[in-house]
Amino acid sequence: MTTQKINPRIAVIIAMILLAAFSRCIPHPANFSPLGAIALFGAAHFIKKWQAFLIPIATTWLCDLFINNVIYAKYYPTFTWLAEGFYWQYGSYLLITLIGLFILKKINTRKVFAGALASTAIFFLVSNLGCCVASTFYPQNFNGLITCYAAGIPFLTGTLLGDLFYSGILFGSFALLQKRFQILQPSYS
C-alpha cells in the first residue's frame, strides 16, 4: 500500500493563497483585493498548470461563499452559491492566470510588477465590460461602454494598490521562505 505524502511546497502555496483570499474579510478600501495577485502567484508557483487555474478560483469561490452568506447575508435572501455576474470576475482571474503563466516563467521583481499592472488592466477591462453588458443602466452601445469604463475609473486605484501590495506580500514572503527552507524549492519530478 502506498501512502501519498502532502507536498510541503504545495501546502504552503495553498495556505498563502487561502490566507490572502480571506484577508478580504478584513475592512479594506474599495477594490483593494488580493485576487489578482493570487492568480499571478498561482501561475508562477504551481508546477502543474491545472492547479494554477483551479486552486486560486476554488479559493476565491470558498471565500465568496463565506462573504456572501455570512458577512453580507442580509443582502442575499437565500444561500448564495455564486453571486450574480460571477463569471466576469472569475473569467478575469482565469485570464490573469493565463497571462501570469507567460509573464512569470522566470520570477523577478520587474516581472511581478508587470504582472500586477497587467492584472489591474485585465480586471478593469473585463469587469467593466461585464457591468455594461449585464446592466440596464448603461446603453448597450459603444457610448454606454465608454460611460461604464469612465464610471469604473475611481475604483482603479484600489485595484492597482491591492494588486501591487498583495503581489509584493505573496511573492516576497514566499521568496524569503524558499531561501530559508530548501523543501519549498520546486521539484520537477
* Domain boundaries, given as residue ranges, for the chain: 8-183
Burial class for 127, CB neighbours closer than 10 Å (0-12, 13-18, 19+): buried
Determine the Cα–Cα distance for residues 148 and 130; give it in Å rounded to an integer. 10
Burial class for 80, CB neighbours closer than 10 Å (0-12, 13-18, 19+): middle
Using CA atoms in the order 22, 84, 49, 23, what is the torsion angle rounded to 10 degrees? Answer: -10
19-73, pLDDT tens digit by residue? 999 999 999 999 999 999 999 999 999 999 999 999 999 999 999 999 999 998 9
Residue 2 has pLDDT above 80, yes or no: no
